[in-house]
Structure formats: C-alpha cells, structure tokens
Structure 1
Amino acid sequence: MPGVLSTGEAAATGIGATKGTTKSSTESARSTRIDTEHPRFTLAVVPDTQYQFDQDRGDAAPLTATFKYLIDQRGEENIVFIAHLGDVVENALASEFALADPVFRILDRARFPYSVLAGNHDIDGSKDDTRGPSPYLDTFGPRRFRWMPTYGGSTANGYNSYHVFRAAGRQWLLLAMDWRPSDASFAWARAVIKAHPKLPVILTIHELVNADHGNPVAYFSDHGNRVWDQLVDDSDQIFLTLNGHYWPPGRVTRKNAAGHDVHLHITNYQDRYYGGSGMVRLYHFDLARNTIDVETVAPWIMQQDPARRNELAAAEIELSDDTNRFSVPIDFAERFAGFAPEPVRPARPAKQLVIPGTAAYWRFDGPVGDKVVDQSGQGNDLTRVQLSSDLPTASAEYHPDQPGHASWLFPGGKNPARGGYLKTADGAPLNAMTFASGYTIEAFVKLADDGQDHSWEGLLTRLGTGRDAGKTGSDPDEPAAKLGFSGGLQVQWAVYPADKNDTFTNWGHEQRAGEWFHLAIVNDGRHSVVYVDSSELLRNPATASNGLATAGKPWLVAAGHYANNVDQGFAGHIGELRIVTRALKPSQFLNA
C-alpha cells in the first residue's frame, strides 16, 4: 500500500498487547501501521528518564510501559518517530546503561525508529562532545541506529546524529544534538541542514531554554544562547526545538534572523512522582488544521488497576494544565515557504475545461470590460450592467486550484444598491434550458470581508420569478433559481424545479469571508447536492426534484433579485463559473 509502513515484527513479538488479552498477528500488524501521507501524524517526545536508571534505586517499568504503549498506539495515533531528550541514566555508569539497553531494545524489535542524545548525566558533563569513549557511546552510538531507515548519520565523535522521516506527504529532518556540541559539531549540523535544503527541521538537544515555577514562559540559558547563535538563528528550516534538563516545562517563541517564528519547548518531569512516571509528550501535527496539538500522558499509570492505583499516581495520569496540554498554531505552508515553497498549480487553458455538456463557462482572468465571453462556445456571453458608479476591478488573486489565475473583485452592496453585475443576452441559449438530465454549477468565490451587510446577495440567479415560470407555490415572487448567501454567509441554492410547483432549497454551512473556496451544485436529475471544496454538505433535500423552471429570461452573475428587482450587487471575488448539463463527480470538478 503506497505511503504505508508495516511493522509486522512488533506483531510477532506480541509487544503492545494488553495483559490478559490476545491479538492475532493480523490484528497486531494492522494496529501498528502508519500512514506517511496522512496530514495528521505524531512525534513522541521522551524527556529525562535518569531516575529510572539510577544504580540500584531505579525502576525500568515506567519507560517500558511507555514504549509498549507507543508501539500499541502507533497506528491509531500515526506515531512516526520517538525522540529522547537526554539524561537516559543518572550517573553515566555502564551498569545503568546495561539496565536501559533492553528497554530501548523493545523499540528495536518493533522496528520503531527513535533518536537518543547525551544529557549531562549520561557522560562527563564537564566536557564537550570531543570527550571520547563512554558507556553512553557504547550503548547509544551510531551502530545502534544503523538498522533504521530514518538514520542519516552522525558526527565523527558519535555524539550527534540526524534522522529523516516521512510524514504528511513530505520529509522532515530531526537533529539529536549532544549536551555540549563542539564548534565542529555545530558546523556539522549546519552542513546537514544545507544538504537537505527543503526539509523542515526539528532540533532536539538536552539544554536550550529554561522556565521557572509559576511562569511557564521559557527563557534562554547561557548555553541556549550559544545554540541559538551558532545554529538556530541563521537556520530558517529549524521551526521547533525540544529540550529537557531543566524543570518545570515551559515554552517561548522567538524570531530568527529571517523574521520567522521558532517554537522553543522545554519538557521534563523528573521532579514529579516516581521520577516522572515515564511521562511522554505527544506532538500531534495536523497539517490540514495548521496546528500542533500537544498532550502529556503517563502510560505506566494509565495501565494500572484504578482500584489499586495510589493517590499520587492518580494525579499523574495526564497533565492537562496549559503548560503541558496546548496547541501551537502554525501555517506550515507559509512558515516553510522560504525554503520549500508549495508549487503553484499551473494555469490551465479554458479549452481544456470545456468538457462534454458544458453549457456556459465564464472566466474572470482578463481586464474588466463590458463583456465576458462564454468559453464554451455556446454563445452565452455576459454583458455588464451597473447599479452605481462602483466598478468591478481586475485582481491577481485566485483560488489555488483555479484554472485561470485571476479574478474580478465586485464592490457590491445595498441600501442603496451598489456595484454591478453581468447578464446573458435576451436570446441566449442558456435562458431557455431546463436541465432535465441534471446539471452541475461550479464557482470559485471569495466573499468580501468589508464589515458591510451583504445578506442574501446573489452569485448566480435566473431572472424571472416563480410566477413568471408558471409556479404558484411558496413565494412566487422569488427567483426561479438563485445561488446566493444568507445573512450568516450560508450557501443557499433555492429553485423552482421544472417538475414541482414549490421551491426546493439546499443549505450549506457558514462560509468565512476573506477566504477562497470552490462551490458546486450537482443535480443528477433526481436530487441536488451542494459541495464546498469537493466536500458534500449536510442540508440537501431528500425529496426528488428534476430540472429548473424557466421564464426564458437571462441569467445574472454577481446579483440576485426579488420580483425581478435587483437590489444589490455581489461583494467579493469571482474567479470563474461553469455550468454543465449533467451531474459531475468531484473528480471532474474544476478544482480536481
């Protein structure tokens, strides 16, 4: 399956299964799948575990439970990588690393990629990473990571490494830097970033920012300033840093040399009950929502029998204060635009979009004039009608999936009627069409965000009332057909079907002014369905309706009417409009 990695080895070991339950190998393999293309993924962050490996005073159970939990939740939460922030052990002793080693081998057996870096308790903290051999390096040196497809390499001294993992349809680079990188190691890190010029970078390091009790706003340590000056400030690709060492947790945002935000987080729980109880910080990246949702949980405590859980443990299951459970809004496309701009979809000529059944196709990608040509060749050209002296203007703005790379901005309004609109000629073929076999109406739209009242403005309307078309149900002074927006910016498609004497209305949800969207109305000859950005909406009538009633009068673009009186012009951008005489699938829409 493209974009999906399977960790079937985890299934074979039984890791992740809850005590007392049995999982088949198929079920276990399925539960540990990750989707590297899905816009939501999780980075698991494990801070200082030193008190769990402190000579004869520790307990490996909390970290063991955390790793098994992450393996078990790997598919459910789409956990793509685990990053340890250093201070694996307390006294840098070989005997302590001998206790930690089998716990991390749980991840090795599950083929779960992870990184580890040296904290000051893992090595001789008085020296930088040129310190030479150590029990830490014997346990977590480069050879430990060579099996991982994410592993990219290490410094010659072995104390700094980098990984590249795929998530949300792109690659991400994670640096795991030593407690005290040497100047040469900072140069190495800069070279790694330079060698991956389009990858967003997450820096993990043991010390960078600190925070005080009662003030969760983090500040830089002296060494943190060195890290900023030598690596972060001029490396625009670094957008997130994660460190432990100090406590309590905190965070701060700082502008780099390029003027972009870098989010700097400290997370450490060794001061809490049971040495932090193996707490893990979960960074849930959601590129569809442009947000990172962060939560902090203690799997070891979560899995305990509630009836036997002690009072201190019960308070540590999950940390839900603002410092440990929060969201970070990031416009990923905008933040990464300086080094990895999203490719602009090329413009597509109109002739490519004139598909079989196209009745009319209007593009607003030229200078404002008195006429808009019907690109379908069916002769449904539009001419401009002014309600006031406020003229539409040509705009370089457009929906990113729009074939034509431009739009017109209509300055409409009411009380009094302002702006203008366009209309088909009196004898245009479109005027008489009833669409008995179905129809699809599409538009690229951005509603005005000008603070004015534009309630019930029309985008596309059939001139002529229900009464004019021989319909007497509902309010016969309403238009025979109107696509517009309520006072709450809800999409409304209100029509007199050809086969009914009453109006039928499809409603959408409230749209946001100032944001582009693609709108489609699809009728298959029986039912009409509204789509926004190719997503089917809720409030579509189940009652059958066929065709559109007509009085043979023109269609209006950028206006509506009541009793054939146009009382306001549309306010906002229109990119293009297409009408097809059959139901299209979303894969056939203009934004597909």
Structure 2
Amino acid sequence: MCKSHANDQDEAEQAGAGRRSFLRATALIGAATAVSLPQVAKAASAPAEKWRPDPDSHRFTLVVMPDTQYLFDGPSIDKEPVEASLRYILEHGQDDNIVFLSHLGDLTQNGSKAEFTAIGEAFGLLDRQGVGYSVLAGNHDVRSSTDDQRGPTSYLDAFGPKRFAGKPTFGGASPDGYNTFHLFKAAGRQWLVLALDWRLSDKGYAWAKDVIAQHPKTPVILTTHELVYKDDTLSSHGQQLWEQLIDDHDQIFLTLNGHYWPAGRATRENAAGNEVHLHLTNYQNRYFGGAAMIRLYHFDLDRNVIDVETVSPWILGRAAEGINELERQEIELSGDADRFSVPIDFEERFSGFAPVPPRPSRPASQVLIPGTVAYWRFDGTENKAGGDAVTGTVRDLSGRGNHLTLVTVGGGKLTWSADHHPDQPGHGSLEFHGGKPPLKGAYLRTFDGVPLNSATFKAGYTIEAFYRLPDDWDPSHHAWAGLLSRTGTGGAAGKTADDPDEPLATLSLSNDREPQWAVRPLNQEGIATNWGQETPLETWWHLAVVNDGTHTTLYVQGCPVVRNPKASAVGLTSVGLPWLLGGYEYAGKIDQILHGRLGDVRIVERALPVTAFMNR
C-alpha cells in the first residue's frame, strides 16, 4: 500500500493471544497441560501430506493471504514467513479441509524480477503439492497508473496464466492474463474464486461478467486488491466495482481485499435484496510487515456460518527459539476485526441463482422394505385438499391389513395438510386439533383384530414417525399427547410396577417437547423409557425407535439421543388392543389428543440401520 494511504489510517489495537487460543491455532488444544514451546515448533514443521481436500464435507476452509510486499522489497527479501504460512496450509490441509488459498495482491514492494523470483519460489511449495491458489496484481506489483491492459510485466512472468495451466482448480484467464478465475469443489458443490486486477479496464469488466454468466449456478468469491477502505466504507474504486459488477451479480456473496489498513468489514444489500459481505484484511503495518499472516475462513454449511480467525504460522514456528515481545502479540489476532463469525443461510442466500429442488415424493413401493408390518401415509389422489376433514378409513399400505379408522371426540375433526418433512416419502400429513380435557378433536385407531394389535416383536422392531408442532402449542394444554401408542394398560397385562394405568407403549411429547418412548417390554414388569431433547416448534422432525431384540435406541433426525437406557428390553407387551395415531389413553380411556401435524408412520418387525430410515 502507498504510504500516503497509510497515513490516513489508525492502527488497530489487538489483544495478545491467550494460552488457549495459542494452542488451538497449533491444533494442540487437547494436550494443553503437556505442551511446551519446543513441542509447538515441532508440530509446525511436521511432514506435509499430499493435498486432498474432501469435496463433500460441509466443513471446509478458504485461506487468505494479504499484502506481503515488505518481505520482498529490493535487497530486503525474506521469504521464510511466506513459506511458513504455505507449509501451515500443507500441514493443516486435512484437519481443516483447506480447499484453496487466495493472495490479495501487493506480493512485492517494487514489482521487480528479483522480488517476483523470490516469492515465486516460495509458492513452489504449493505447486509441488498441487494446491489450488490464486494471486492478483496490486499497485506495487505493477505500475499503479495502469489497468489490466498494461502488457508484459515481471508479475505476469512469475504469476501469469502459464503458472496455473494444468492445475485442477484453474478455470481460465482474461486475454491480458491479469484476471483469472478458479473453481474448487466443497460441500458437494462448485465454488468460483474471481481474482481481479488492481484496476479493471472495460475489457476486464466484460470478461468478469462473462465468466459469471458461464457459471450461472455457482457462488462467487471476488478477490481484488482494493475495495473496502475501512469499516462500512468502500473506496472510490471499490464503489466503482460495486456499481459495475458486484451489485447486479447476485452470485457474488463475499469479497476479499487488502491494500488499506487496519482490517475492516462492510455489508451491503445488492440489487437482488441479498447481503454481500465485503472484507478488508491487511497486516503489513504490523510487526515484521505482517509476517505473512493468514486469515482462515472456516465454512460450515451445517451451522450456516463462516468462522474467521487470523494466525501467524511463522511466529508459531519460531516459538521454540524464544519469541520477542512484539511477536507474542502477533501469534494469533483476537480483535473483533480479525476473529469473528459471519452467519449465512447458504441455501437461502443461493436460492436466487441455484435453488435446491425439493425432494420428490417416493412411491410406497420404495418404502415397503422387508419386514414392514404397517405403513401409513397421508397423500395421494384419495386425499382431499389441505384443510378438508378426514373421513372413513386410512389404509395401511404394507399389505398387512392394519388399516385405521377415525374416532371423533366432542364434535372435533381431523384434517388433511399438504405440509410435510422435506425428506418424507409422502408429501402430505394429518393435522390434529386436540388438547387436554375437556376433549375435542379426532384421532385414528387400528381396527379390532388386525395383526398389529397382537404383535409382540420379540426379534426387534423399528417405529418411525414425522411430526411438527405449531407455534400455538402450549405445554399446559398439549403436553404428553401421543404420536403413536398401543392401548391396553400395564395392569391389564398383569404388570403393575410403576403406574399400572399407563398404556403399554407410547411415543409421546413431554411438556418440554421432548420425544419419549415409554413401554413395557416382555422381559420386565416396569416401564422402560428413552428420552430425546427439546424439539423446537414449527419444525418438522423425524423420530425412529429401534429395538435389536435386546436394547432400544431412540433417534432424532437419524441421530441417537443421550438418554438411551442400557438395560435389556425385549419386545412389546400386548393385550390385543388397537394402536392409536394422535391419541393417548390413560386407564383405558382417551385422555389426550395431539395438537400438531403427523406425517408418514412406518413399523418394521426388525431393527433397521440409520441408512434405511424413511428420511434417508
């Protein structure tokens, strides 16, 4: 960056790195009590593994390296800090799933051949391992008065398109060679890095727009040397980039630039009404010209967040030698501008150009796996429109004849709904309008004498259900309703331990909306329970209860819960009475009706693996 710009900036105050963050940065937090400085240095110089990022993991890391110019300044060339950062990428590539590195320009101070030769040699570390990366020209790498039509330069000799030809991440370059684009795969999709010159010509803008147009469903990270000037402020050139390129291209969701200091951020709404996150990162004003400090953008598409941290691998690697007072403050920056999180609902943010198609419904034949004894779903041509009342019989699609009949209480009703879990086979549900006494509503029960009523499942079972509770669900009126339950009491079965009036089996929801499977197994007198965690309102959930003939495990969204008892539980006690959907009996009488929606329900007479659940 030009010194005239630097004088306009106030240096940010950064807190020194604490012991915990120091160890976390070196991936040694698990051994905090035993680590000494020599051990840290040894970890930083461990042999590198071949770069093989996981293209499907929802967690991946983009590394950003800003202005390194003071390390490559005429006779003052020191490439060790850059090499340390590049080795860090190789050494932590697998643990952090590092997919790409972006340098933000001003690689050198004077743009000389010798300077570019030195930094080019440093980047050979990545070339030899096949690591994907991009660079771009800053104002110190080329004549600052020129744009991307300037012609041959030492920058182009060292980092022109010929350097990247053959790399799997290299997408192409503008005819002048100063603008490039790169593609990497992460989280099961393609991402595009658009690396733009210090100053774009009209041809450069046209090229950039064409690249985006040729990748219409690909999210774009734009990198350039100058854009954000300070917090919430763009430079005049940055404003031009916004107006001519970023604003009208919704695929650009993140921009990264250097040039100015201290680090800062801006967020703007584009023409499509979506947020664009614009980040300035530059540490050349700090100790040792920034010491090739890197910023790590940890994407997590499960948590819908980008966690950002800033570390100095070179100083970490020098810890064994004894670091000085200034270096202690630079190991890892912890200020708000350098360690922060960016919440992004990626699916929603990208929906304007790459909407995720809804999962289509699956025919019942695909769901009727061997051992299915009952399968009820609430869609199909026989169903009415959403809001219409359910009448007559709901058929069991398993072929076992376990059909359901409607039971109304107090003049209430049960209605159809088109709402459903996104991974549910059937695209429909039943809406129950119940609560506690005085009872009013409706539920379903199996017919008398059907096979399911007497089944004891001695060899094991899997029971699955989808449900959603509305925002007016109130624990004082709606708690402990059953999604699915078996009628008949413990007392009627001759099992009087615990409460003899409780039903023989019930999959219910507590006052804290915790799913609970409470049953009397064949091999014990008392009630065995499995508990899930609180499930938020207005969200579809999938539950599965799996018994392998010996033990029972409750799963929420395909994940086992913590409160699964270790005690043996064999089969289900039966007195030959019906099963209920949406209803719960106590002491042999209907006591509660569900308030919420119930989707597909399936019962299989064997234990299923998670991969065979209906939401898979």
Same fold (TM over 0.5): yes
Tell me if structure 1 keeps the 8 A contact 2:390–2:415. no
Aligned-residue offset at 1:523: 1.0
SS of structure 2 residue aligned to 1:144: helix
Query: 1:206 — aligned with what?
Result: 225
Query: 1:88 — aligned with what?
Result: 107
Query: 2:62 — aligned with what?
Result: 43
Tell me if structure 1 keeps the 8 A contact 2:390–2:413. no
SS of structure 1 residue aligned to 2:575: coil
Once the two structures are superposed, residues 70-127 of structure 1 have per-residue CA deviations (whole angstroms, 9 ceiling, x without a partner) of 1111111111110001111112222322222211112112221110001111111112
User: In the alignment, does 2:180 pair up with 1:156?
Assistant: no
Query: 2:204 — aligned with what?
Result: 185
Question: Within 2, Cα distance between the matches of 1:507 and 1:341?
Answer: 36
Aligned-residue offset at 1:418: 4.8
User: In the alignment, does 2:316 pair up with 1:302?
Assistant: yes
Q: Percent identity?
A: 54
- Structure 2 unaligned blocks of 5 or more: 1-38
Find 2:539's aligned residue among 508, 512, 515. 515
Query: 1:394 — aligned with what?
Result: 416
Matches within 5 A, 1:22-37: 28-29=48-49, 32-37=51-56
Find 1:71's aligned residue among 78, 90, 93. 90
Matches within 5 A, 1:574-585: 574-585=598-609
Aligned-residue offset at 1:326: 1.4
Report the CA distance shift for 1:180/1:418 in structure 2 as closer, same or farther (over 3 A).
farther
Matches within 5 A, 1:149-548: 149-211=168-230, 217-305=231-319, 308-365=322-379, 366-367=383-384, 368-370=389-391, 371-388=393-410, 391-414=413-436, 416-450=438-472, 452-453=474-475, 454-548=478-572
Tell me if structure 2 keeps the 8 A contact 1:364–1:407. yes
Report the CA distance shift for 1:540/1:57 in structure 2 as closer, same or farther (over 3 A).
same
Tell me if structure 1 keeps the 8 A contact 2:390–2:414. no
SS of structure 2 residue aligned to 1:529: strand
Question: Within 2, Cα distance between the matches of 1:384 and 1:322?
Answer: 59
Aligned-residue offset at 1:355: 2.7
Report the CA distance shift for 1:161/1:550 in structure 2 as closer, same or farther (over 3 A).
same
Q: Which moved more, 1:478-487 or 1:333-342?
A: 333-342
Tell me if structure 1 keeps the 8 A contact 2:44–2:317. no
Question: Within 1, Cα distance between the matches of 2:599 and 2:274?
Answer: 31
Once the two structures are superposed, residues 119-146 of structure 1 have per-residue CA deviations (whole angstroms, 9 ceiling, x without a partner) of 1111111121111221111111111111
Question: Within 1, Cα distance between the matches of 2:224 and 2:440?
Answer: 60
SS of structure 1 residue aligned to 2:306: strand
Question: Within 2, Cα distance between the matches of 1:393 and 1:181?
Answer: 61
Tell me if structure 2 keeps the 8 A contact 1:45–1:82. yes
Aligned-residue offset at 1:557: 0.7
Report the CA distance shift for 1:117/1:340 in structure 2 as closer, same or farther (over 3 A).
same
SS of structure 2 residue aligned to 1:421: strand
Aligned-residue offset at 1:279: 1.0
Report the CA distance shift for 1:359/1:220 in structure 2 as closer, same or farther (over 3 A).
same
Question: Within 1, Cα distance between the matches of 2:196 and 2:564?
Answer: 55
Report the CA distance shift for 1:556/1:72 in structure 2 as closer, same or farther (over 3 A).
same
Alpha-carbon RMSD across the aligned residues, in angstroms, is 2.1
Question: Within 2, Cα distance between the matches of 1:441 and 1:267?
Answer: 53
Question: Within 1, Cα distance between the matches of 2:376 and 2:330?
Answer: 61
Question: Within 1, Cα distance between the matches of 2:395 and 2:497?
Answer: 36
Tell me if structure 2 keeps the 8 A contact 1:218–1:266. no
Q: Which moved more, 1:107-116 or 1:377-386?
A: 377-386
Once the two structures are superposed, residues 140-162 of structure 1 have per-residue CA deviations (whole angstroms, 9 ceiling, x without a partner) of 11111113111111111111000
For 1:513, give the aligned amino acid: L
Question: Within 2, Cα distance between the matches of 1:236 and 1:442?
Answer: 40
Report the CA distance shift for 1:389/1:249 in structure 2 as closer, same or farther (over 3 A).
farther
Aligned-residue offset at 1:304: 1.7
Question: Within 2, Cα distance between the matches of 1:176 and 1:389?
Answer: 67
Question: Within 2, Cα distance between the matches of 1:149 and 1:237?
Answer: 22
Question: Within 2, Cα distance between the matches of 1:49 and 1:143?
Answer: 22
For 2:90, give the aligned amino acid: I
Once the two structures are superposed, residues 407-443 of structure 1 have per-residue CA deviations (whole angstroms, 9 ceiling, x without a partner) of 2232333364454321122333222221122111011
Once the two structures are superposed, residues 40-65 of structure 1 have per-residue CA deviations (whole angstroms, 9 ceiling, x without a partner) of 11110101111111223353221111
Q: Which moved more, 1:411-420 or 1:574-583?
A: 411-420
Report the CA distance shift for 1:503/1:98 in structure 2 as closer, same or farther (over 3 A).
same
Aligned-residue offset at 1:389: 5.3
Q: Give the length in aligned residue pairs.
A: 568
Question: Within 2, Cα distance between the matches of 1:418 and 1:242?
Answer: 59
Question: Within 2, Cα distance between the matches of 1:540 and 1:235?
Answer: 50
Question: Within 2, Cα distance between the matches of 1:379 and 1:221?
Answer: 72
SS of structure 1 residue aligned to 2:555: strand
Tell me if structure 2 keeps the 8 A contact 1:164–1:173. yes
Aligned-residue offset at 1:501: 0.9
Question: Within 2, Cα distance between the matches of 1:457 and 1:282?
Answer: 48
Aligned-residue offset at 1:457: 2.2
Question: Within 2, Cα distance between the matches of 1:268 and 1:29?
Answer: 29
For 1:547, give the aligned amino acid: G
Report the CA distance shift for 1:310/1:390 in structure 2 as closer, same or farther (over 3 A).
farther
Report the CA distance shift for 1:125/1:412 in structure 2 as closer, same or farther (over 3 A).
farther
Question: Within 2, Cα distance between the matches of 1:495 and 1:28?
Answer: 54
Give TM-score, length-normalised by structure 2: 0.88
Give TM-score, length-normalised by structure 1: 0.91
Aligned-residue offset at 1:69: 0.8
SS of structure 1 residue aligned to 2:298: strand
Question: Within 2, Cα distance between the matches of 1:322 and 1:22?
Answer: 26
Query: 2:16 — aligned with what?
Result: none
Question: Within 2, Cα distance between the matches of 1:220 and 1:205?
Answer: 13
- Structure 1 unaligned blocks of 5 or more: 1-16, 212-216
Aligned-residue offset at 1:582: 1.5
